[in-house]
Chains A and B, each alone.
Chain A
Amino acid sequence: MGFAAQRSASLEEGLGAGSPVLIFDKVSLAFDDKVILKDISFTVIVGHTKIILGASGSGKSTILKLVLGLLRPDEGIIWVNGERVDQMTEQQMMKVRADLGMVFQEGALFDSLTVAENVGYKLYEETDMPTDQVHRRVEEVLGFIGLGEYSDRMPSELSGGQRRRVAIARAMAAKPRILLYDEPTTGLDPITATTVDDEIIKLRDFENVSSILVTHQLRDAFYVATHEAVRRDDGVLQIVPADPEKSEEAEFIMLKDGGVAFEGYAAELRASSDAYLKTFLS
């Protein structure tokens, strides 16, 4: 009916709480002689966040493109929502992408469409959902990110932070179970970046969306990992520091020279004595 791909009962059970929705198994990729990724392995659990850190050119965004099937690995296996995607054709990938949302680095909003048309694009163009239902969903999503009154604006009329938030709204409009964020806060001031981080946290905690966050903004990475969204008794949403157990739903991966230099939780990353990690975190 338009929203994220329907699953069979057995797959739904198989991908229940605590199950991996995304698996990278010894994935390697090189462009000509340049090795981008080498033997990368990790899993993302339902409702958890994987935060991928690394210097520019370390292959962070490439991982997201591999998940989406925009690139194919030279070696290794990639599973998304119980389906092996590393050898799928473009046509087959379309079904897998129905359950994926992506927030691109600069938003990648369609500049000839309004904010509402951008947000509802997938539902308008790729589903048979009635138009009034799409309108309602667009309003709901824009309200969720606090940009309800901007629906008729063009992307060029928005600030950088607003564009990223609209990109998040577009990615979540079709209710995907996995969201991928590619440097969503790069180039934003700290206050605006926090509003984007809050949206990421809200989606994870209220919509149970599994996510991969690629960034080199440490402040945002730790903020997302160590905060959670709660609803107060008066119904107002609030972002508060997460308890230690909740913090473990966000796991860090540090990439270096195409490989994984670190994998663990925020506290472990902070406590690491590795010289490279220390330099990166300083």
Chain B
Amino acid sequence: MTRLVRPAQAGTIESSDILVMLAPADEGTGIQVELKSPTMQQYGEHIRGLIIRTLQEQGIQDAIIHANEKGALDYTIKARVKTAIRRAAGQRGF
């Protein structure tokens, strides 16, 4: 179970990337995603779902996420969310 201890971000706003900003939230408030995407109509729900699933897979129930998506494929979205989680949990991964 990962515990978020501070706000953190990962990714960029370059094409094919996504900038993920992640912050801890009070227990019981759930995962709140605010998403900006040029393909909101077609893929908005998919991206939102992928972000939430990735957080849940890491054992996170409560968090505030702002994501600025620029045409990222799924593998990038997953990777950026996971990096943001590790950073917010106080690990740098090295």
Say whether A and B bind each other.
no
* Chain B contacts to A: CB under 8 angstroms: none
